[in-house]
């Protein structure tokens, strides 16, 4: 699968605006704000058990929880 991303200061960003993360968590903004940065795709079962499914009204209600700033 190809995931396009224009956030070039993310460690997973790749040439041609592709995301190179092996797993990605996209969720509702409220969940992104509620959980710390360390809670990401591996903890999806925890998030669903605590918060349930997270429907959104539009794309502007969602966030990529997998964003990690580039180091260096």
Q: For tokens 């794309």, what's the residue?
A: 59
Tell me if 38 is assigned to some domain.
yes
Tell me if 15 is assigned to some domain.
no
pLDDT for 64 equals 95
With residues binned 3-state (H G I as helix, E B as strand, rest as coil), the percentages for the chain, rounded to 5, are 30, 20, 55
Domain of 41? 24-64
pLDDT for 72 equals 74
Q: Look at the chain and count its residues.
A: 72
Tell me if 35 is assigned to some domain.
yes
Tell me if 72 is assigned to some domain.
no
What is the count of structural domains for the chain? 1
Tell me if 13 is assigned to some domain.
no
- pLDDT by 10-residue block (mean), the chain, 72 residues: 96 97 96 94 96 95 95 81
Greatest extent of the chain over all pairs of C-alpha atoms, in Å: 37
pLDDT for 7 equals 97
- Joined tokens for residue 29: 């903004």
**pTM of the entire structure?**
0.84
Tell me if 53 is assigned to some domain.
yes
Tell me if 29 is assigned to some domain.
yes
Tell me if 59 is assigned to some domain.
yes
């Amino acid at each position: 699968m190809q995931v396009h991303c224009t956030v070039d200061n993310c460690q997973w960003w790749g040439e041609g605006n592709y995301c190179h993360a092996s797993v990605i968590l996209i969720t509702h903004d409220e969940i992104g704000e509620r959980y710390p940065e360390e809670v990401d795709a591996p903890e999806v079962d925890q998030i669903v058990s605590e918060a349930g499914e997270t429907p959104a009204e539009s794309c502007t209600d969602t966030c990529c929880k997998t964003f990690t700033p580039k180091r260096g």
